Amino acid sequence: MWGVNPEKLCNQHLLGEHLEMHMFVGCIKKGISLKGYYDNKLVCTNLIKKRHDDLMNEMISRGMKHNTPMEEINFFKDYKQGSIDLELNINELMRRCPKCKERFVNEPGKK
């Protein structure tokens, strides 16, 4: 869960993070631990649904198709674990991905 403005993500990271939101829900429903994600401040469970929807809206604004709505799940209200380190995530994303770095430097859709 990068947590950054979805407009800043390249297509690959936008789609990858969208997929991860579905993966997190599947893991939680199956009782699979997300401990490594919590320990590294990479996921905040009560933000998964909102994050999914933000990513979905950006996908649609770029002309991508979205066929995987996220169901409303009651545990999002009560299952609050983890946090994200936004500054660390921005730095890591810019280090890893030249396309995302360019989107940050050129500041498209700055919010």
Work out how many domains the chain is built from and give that number.
Answer: 1
CA–CA distances in Å: residue 24 to residues 16, 34, 36, 82, 87: 12, 8, 12, 12, 22
Instruction: Assess if residue 77 is contained within a domain.
Output: yes
Q: How far is CA 89 from the centre of its chain?
A: 11
Q: What is the pLDDT of residues 63-86, one digit of tens each?
A: 999 999 887 766 655 556 788 889
The answer to whether 83 touches 41, Cβ cutoff 8 Å, is: yes
User: Domain residues for 70?
Assistant: 6-104
Instruction: Assess if residue 1 is contained within a domain.
Output: no
The reported pLDDT for the residue numbered 78 is 53
Percentage with pLDDT > 70 across the chain: 87
With bands split at pLDDT 50, 70 and 90, how would you rate the model's confidence at 40? confident
Mean pLDDT of all residues in 35-59: 90
Instruction: Assess if residue 45 is contained within a domain.
Output: yes
With bands split at pLDDT 50, 70 and 90, how would you rate the model's confidence at 102? very high
Instruction: Assess if residue 56 is contained within a domain.
Output: yes
